[in-house]
């Protein structure tokens, strides 16, 4: 992948992380989304030197970066249930389109399997967004907010929502970074690698041509900042 694209994507993510705590600053939110859009346009232009599937994957990767940056902005500057669900769903949609682009170069049963996996991952991600929206009100590590009353309960629920939103978006960004690094690694020829992240643990699945590529994919994922552990179920085809 074009190194300029990787740099632009990194800049977009950094711009969206400018604030360390959620707030309702609409001006800052607008500024962050404008930066994400500008970074996307630059990244998309950087894809013009490629063609075919490689170009499609490049463009869709830039869209994933934009959606992830906008989701981070929503978390930091809005952080309400509706905004978070919408942002996470848009990230899921962008990842689905990227998955389909990666499947395009395949044929026969491999392509069908790839598309089925992309679809299943999309459905799961959208459901996760909905589930997070429903459960965020009453979940906080080690504490059951439902047993509290009055101001204590409201404060607990607020902390719970903020913590879960941060964790969810952090995992989303790790997934995006791992996918980007896998695409950028020249020794990895297969596009059929699926990435999921839960609490900093990255799970790799799919098919690769050799054990060397299995090892390389795991190594690439392990070296992404924020990754605590890598679990691989990659198979050699």
Q: How confident is the model at residue 93 (pLDDT cuts 50, 70, 90)?
A: very high
Alpha carbon distance 180, 199 (integer Å): 19
Label residue 1 exposed, middle or buried (CB < 10 Å: 0-12, 13-18, 19+): buried
At residue 97, does pLDDT exceed 90? yes
Q: pLDDT digits over 157-176, tens only?
A: 544 544 444 444 577 778 88
At residue 19, does pLDDT exceed 70? no
Alpha carbon distance 67, 65 (integer Å): 6
**Mean pLDDT confidence for 213-220:** 90
**Mean pLDDT confidence for 41-53:** 86
What is the DSSP code (8-state) at residue 190?
-
Could you tell me whether strands 229-236 and 201-208 are parallel, antiparallel, or unpaired per DSSP bridges?
Answer: parallel
Comparing 20 with 210, the larger pLDDT belongs to 210
**Mean pLDDT confidence for 138-148:** 47
Q: How confident is the model at residue 156 (pLDDT cuts 50, 70, 90)?
A: low
At residue 188, does pLDDT exceed 50? yes
For residue 66, how many C-alpha atoms fall within 13 Å in the half-sphere facing its CB?
Answer: 22
- Please tell me the predicted confidence (pLDDT) of residue 165: 44
At residue 143, does pLDDT exceed 80? no
Could you tell me whether strands 193-198 and 201-208 are parallel, antiparallel, or unpaired per DSSP bridges?
Answer: antiparallel
**Mean pLDDT confidence for 104-132:** 84
Comparing 204 with 192, the larger pLDDT belongs to 204
Q: Would you say the C-alpha torsion 56, 10, 229, 220 has a positive or negative sign?
A: positive
DSSP secondary structure of 193-235: EEEEEETTEEEEEEEES-HHHHHHHHHHHHTSTT--EEEEEEE
Other Cβ atoms within 10 Å of 59 Cβ, number:
20
pTM of the model: 0.52
**Mean pLDDT confidence for 209-231:** 89
**Mean pLDDT confidence for 28-39:** 87
Could you identify the residue written with the tokens 């060397």?
212
Q: How confident is the model at residue 151 (pLDDT cuts 50, 70, 90)?
A: low
**Mean pLDDT confidence for 48-71:** 88
Comparing 171 with 39, the larger pLDDT belongs to 39
**Mean pLDDT confidence for 189-193:** 68
- In 3D space, the residue among 98, 88, 152 whose CA is nearest the CA of residue 124 turns out to be 88
Q: How confident is the model at residue 150 (pLDDT cuts 50, 70, 90)?
A: low
């Amino acid at each position: 992948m074009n190194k300029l694209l990787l740099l632009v994507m990194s800049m977009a993510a950094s711009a969206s992380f400018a604030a360390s705590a959620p707030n309702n600053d609409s001006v800052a939110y607008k500024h962050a989304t404008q930066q994400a859009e500008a970074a996307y346009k630059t990244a998309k232009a950087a894809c013009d030197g490629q063609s075919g599937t490689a170009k499609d994957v490049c463009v869709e990767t830039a869209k994933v970066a934009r959606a992830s940056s906008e989701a981070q902005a929503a978390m930091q500057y809005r952080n309400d249930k509706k905004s978070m669900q919408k942002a996470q769903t848009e990230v899921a949609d962008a990842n689905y389109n990227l998955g389909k682009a990666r499947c395009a170069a395949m044929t026969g049963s491999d392509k069908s399997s790839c598309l089925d996996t992309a679809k299943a991952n999309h459905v799961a991600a959208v459901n996760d967004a909905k589930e997070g929206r429903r459960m965020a009100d009453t979940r906080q590590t080690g504490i059951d907010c439902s047993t509290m009353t009055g101001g204590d309960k409201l404060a607990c629920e607020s902390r719970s929502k903020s913590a879960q939103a941060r964790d969810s978006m952090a995992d989303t960004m790790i997934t995006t970074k791992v996918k980007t690094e896998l695409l950028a690694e020249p020794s990895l020829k297969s596009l059929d690698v699926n990435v999921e992240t839960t609490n900093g643990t990255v799970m790799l699945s799919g098919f690769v041509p050799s054990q060397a590529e299995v090892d390389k994919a795991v190594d690439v994922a392990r070296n992404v900042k924020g990754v605590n552990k890598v679990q691989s179920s990659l198979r050699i085809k």
